[in-house]
Structure 1
Amino acid sequence: MPTEHRNYCNGEWVASESGETFTVTNPAAETDVVGRLPYSTESDTEWAIDAAADAQEEWANTSGPERGRILRDAGVIAGDRKDELVETLVREEGKTRSEAAGEVQRAIDILFYYAEKARDHGGTSKPASASDRQIQTKKEPLGVAGLITPWNYPIAIPAWKLAPALATGNTVVLKPASQAPISAKKLVECLDDAGLPPGVLNFVTGSGSTIGSTLVSHDAVDAISFTGSSKTGDVVYQEAAEDQKRVQLEMGGKNPTVVMPSADVDDAVDIVGAGAFGVTGQACTAASRAIVHEDVADEFLDGVVEYAESLDIGPGLEDPDMGPHVSESELEVTLDYVDVADDDGATLETGGDALSDGEYDSGHYVEPTVFSDVDTEMRIAQEEVFGPLLSVIEVSDFEEALDVANDTEYGLSASIVSENADEIGAFVDGVESGVVKVNEKTTGLELHVPFGGMKDSSNELYREQGDAGVDFFTTTKTVYSNY
């Protein structure tokens, strides 16, 4: 029998008042039911918000070291359960075992990192204009934070939102994506077992339109942190702005990698291939455009096609090079873009087909896909695909490459492969992107530095991770003391 999971509210695991559930299945084999979760209602969400509001003052008054101890203990528990967490993530999201292990370890590391941040959390002292006065700043929590997380990093993204929120004294209501909510639920279990007080963290599953809308509009919610599509993020921002809630948005990307003649082409192929086809292209930072100088375009194209065709595709538990799409609907979107690119006149160099025979029979598999002869006006050069589809765009010089890189409504991650210091410096200065990589793939982030985008990839007001994560979840009080 599939495991029946429940919501977590006020320190208890509870069913939804609706009595309804939804099913999570393995993307590699639809017959493998991973679990069933509550299809929660507006009332369930309001109950969770009320519990968070009731617990907030006591949690805010809990010492930083004590809050850090709980996060650290949760990290230890997660480490002890790492194998279980990895298998859960693979079965519900489809990542390869190696990719899932890296993500789970990142979540563990985040818990440890913010455990130490909680211990050091405080303000600053500034000199006053008079000798008998002191001025200090004091960081305080915002209150109740609503966290809305996606399916593509189902444990890492909840961790990098939860940990700074809890470390700084906020209480939380977490709503994970319905395609892959069980990894987040198991993260909540680790925090519960670490001794998190009732009401400090609440977990509710179900429809985004019901739970998300309730979180965004509820008077008791002070902050919203959202990761997902730009379309949904715009709605979240507009609704939250009506109540002047603090909002953090991380949304889509159309990430370029520029390849210049000075680059080692073999290295460029590996960098672009890993960025485009890793995690099945299901990353907001995935490389979807290779912008290649004409002098090395043919060599690069031959190499990246060979790279794509060499990838072993299969069930994530077998640890191949690339796993399936998370769902049939996501697979269909990628296949639709293959048709769109063909209709627009791009040249299909390799891939483009679903895999459905033999071991692929009940999974959501697609071949890694490469298109050449891509024009910047084509939809595959402008719209986020969220699958293993790479557009190769040929350019004549660096200035054109930079213009093409910036010729999109998104600005999340960008990279350049070059040995020319002038080009590298001009790219770092000129590219319109929140993350810039030099001779590295567009994917992959350090947990202690800010992360976020420009243009339609973010609202640009607040970054995530590192000190930026602390800043988002806190407000500053300035204290004047005349002694």
Structure 2
Amino acid sequence: MPSIQNYIDGEWTDSESGDTFETVNPAAPSEVVAAYQESTASDADAAVAAAADAETGWASVPAPERGAILKAAGDVLAERKSELTSQLTREEGKTHAEAGGEVQRAVDIFHYYAQKARDLGGTVKSSSGRRTNLYTREEPVGVTALITPWNYPIAIPAWKIAPALAAGNVVTIKPASLAPGPAVSIVEALDEAGIPDGAINLVTGPGKTVGNAVIGHGRVDAVSFTGSSAVGHQVYDLATDDSKRVQTEMGGKNPTIVADSADVEEAADIVASGAFGVTGQACTAGSRAIVYEDVYDEFVDAIVDRATAIEVGPGDEYDMGPQVSEDELESTLGYIDVAKEEGATLAAGGSAPDGGRFGDGYFVEPTVFSDVSVDHRLAQEEVFGPVLAVLEVDGFEDAIDVANNVNYGLSASILTHDHTEANCFVEETEAGVAKINEKTTGLELHVPFGGFKSSSSETWREQGDAGLDFYTIEKTVYENF
């Protein structure tokens, strides 16, 4: 079993605590995947200090040279894709197809921002004076702290690290303890690519100790967080106490509206992919199907067929893998019990299979509830598991009201052949991502991503040019001659 160290100031090092914690394969929890450092606040302080000491040096590296290092790191990840895919499946539980797609996304992100680094600079403006040059400079914010989740353990670190480094910032990252391995692999790739000491630092350990120490550190200038809404609001409060720049991307309760003009069989395929893909463990997962009454019964039958056809098992062989941990599984099963108690109809799934290929893994069946009311907890709260609530509505206005009647606003979709409905949906949906005839999951890397309401701090978006905006600050220059 490998023992993974922290990466601080260009060196792999043990925590001062001398302690480690283990990660396990969620498909077979008796199988230990790796041991990581049980770091302390002092370790976090050392990582931030190393970043701060490297700040000026990394910022002074020409942006195309920074981009070349990102390109080289992306190449290393590409060369290791097969290995990283297996690592992600073993530590997080995704199927091989899902894990391979996520690793490729990390590669693509590094290559994308490697090229975008060349575009950094500023703009020239016309001055009202005859002998004045007027222009802007884009400069790095400084020392950044990145807190990343377990559900996309290589893609999300990539889309935070790459733009931060491309813009000339220095980074300390604290990955989630359930699956830190893929983030470690990114740091290994950057180290191999020749990044200067201190420009990237990684510390593993508990969020309340390591995460809070990094976020609250006096030398940190900006904080980027992805995770649950409950933790995200705490991160925001801690980071803004001393006026740090902060972005938080959090949970979702994402609706897919199924109109009566949609092809029901096709709609069921789309909804099933968004609800049950990655075992429902995505902030953009489609957890609510809001269906017009004229096609409601037909849709329920079709989505039940899709759910029951999914083969559950270890991710290296089956259609849907396990949940990441026992706690996540118990949370999902708890919501299933609540839905039954509230009077929803269990139409498919609802159990945790065991024995045979399931062993003691954290498996749950793809689950569909019909007859869900808008005030049920299943229609209001994020489950973060493969559980779909199907709600019946009498038309578009009712559907959009139900879709917006939650505290979240991350991703939303409508399946319709009515052009007017589609355009009204885009105008009226209270979500940061609006999709027409697509599942709620799946994001392009070159456009902004973020939510409304409790899904986001609504401060800065991620990915694309917006990802660089968070990590840069403009300086305006007046040059008289």
Superposition TM-score, scaled by structure 2 size: 0.99
Provide the rounded CA distance (Å) in 2 between the counterparts of 1:450 and 1:26: 33
Provide the rounded CA distance (Å) in 1 between the counterparts of 2:197 and 2:387: 45
Provide the rounded CA distance (Å) in 1 between the counterparts of 2:366 and 2:469: 39
> 1:63 maps to what in 2?
62
> 2:46 maps to what in 1?
47
Provide the rounded CA distance (Å) in 2 between the counterparts of 1:17 and 1:374: 51
Provide the rounded CA distance (Å) in 2 between the counterparts of 1:447 and 1:42: 34
1:119 deviation in Å?
A: 1.4
> 2:103 maps to what in 1?
104
| 1:316 aligned counterpart, secondary structure | coil
Aligned AA (1:233): G
> 1:443 maps to what in 2?
441
1:404-425: CA deviation from partner (whole Å, max 9, x where unpaired): 0000000000000001011001
| 2:302 aligned counterpart, secondary structure | helix
1:345-400: CA deviation from partner (whole Å, max 9, x where unpaired): 10000100001111101210000000011001000000000000000000001000
> How do 1:278-317 and structure 2 match up within 5 A?
278-317=277-316
Aligned AA (1:416): I
Provide the rounded CA distance (Å) in 1 between the counterparts of 2:340 and 2:311: 25
Provide the rounded CA distance (Å) in 2 between the counterparts of 1:163 and 1:315: 31
> How do 1:244-259 and structure 2 match up within 5 A?
244-259=243-258
Candidates 364, 367, 370, aligned match of 1:366: 364
- Mapped pair 1:185 → 2:184: yes
Provide the rounded CA distance (Å) in 1 between the counterparts of 2:120 and 2:114: 10
1:267 deviation in Å?
A: 1.1
> How do 1:22-171 and structure 2 match up within 5 A?
22-171=21-170
1:458 deviation in Å?
A: 0.3
| 1:32 aligned counterpart, secondary structure | strand
Aligned AA (1:330): E
1:437-465: CA deviation from partner (whole Å, max 9, x where unpaired): 10000000000000000000001110000
1:481 deviation in Å?
A: 1.2
1:130 deviation in Å?
A: 2.1
> How do 1:206-221 and structure 2 match up within 5 A?
206-221=205-220
Aligned AA (2:346): L
> 1:238 maps to what in 2?
237
- The CA RMSD over aligned residues, in Å, is 0.6
Provide the rounded CA distance (Å) in 2 between the counterparts of 1:420 and 1:215: 50
> 2:331 maps to what in 1?
333
Provide the rounded CA distance (Å) in 2 between the counterparts of 1:394 and 1:157: 35
Aligned AA (1:480): Y
Runs of 4+ in 1 over 4 A off after TM superposition: none
What's the % identity of the aligned pairs? 60
- Mapped pair 1:472 → 2:470: yes
1:312 deviation in Å?
A: 1.0
> How do 1:423-438 and structure 2 match up within 5 A?
423-438=421-436
Aligned AA (2:436): V
User: Structure 1: 5+ residue runs without aligned partners?
Assistant: none
| 1:365 aligned counterpart, secondary structure | coil
Superposition TM-score, scaled by structure 1 size: 0.99
Aligned AA (2:59): A
Provide the rounded CA distance (Å) in 1 between the counterparts of 2:197 and 2:464: 27
Provide the rounded CA distance (Å) in 2 between the counterparts of 1:3 and 1:356: 29
Aligned AA (1:421): H
Provide the rounded CA distance (Å) in 2 between the counterparts of 1:200 and 1:388: 39
1:84-111: CA deviation from partner (whole Å, max 9, x where unpaired): 1101000000000000000000000000
| 1:366 aligned counterpart, secondary structure | coil
- Mapped pair 1:408 → 2:383: no
| 2:146 aligned counterpart, secondary structure | strand
> How do 1:373-384 and structure 2 match up within 5 A?
373-384=371-382
1:182-203: CA deviation from partner (whole Å, max 9, x where unpaired): 0110111001000000000000
| 2:316 aligned counterpart, secondary structure | helix
- Mapped pair 1:461 → 2:447: no
Provide the rounded CA distance (Å) in 2 between the counterparts of 1:267 and 1:25: 37
Count how many residue pairs are aligned between Structure 1 and Structure 2.
481
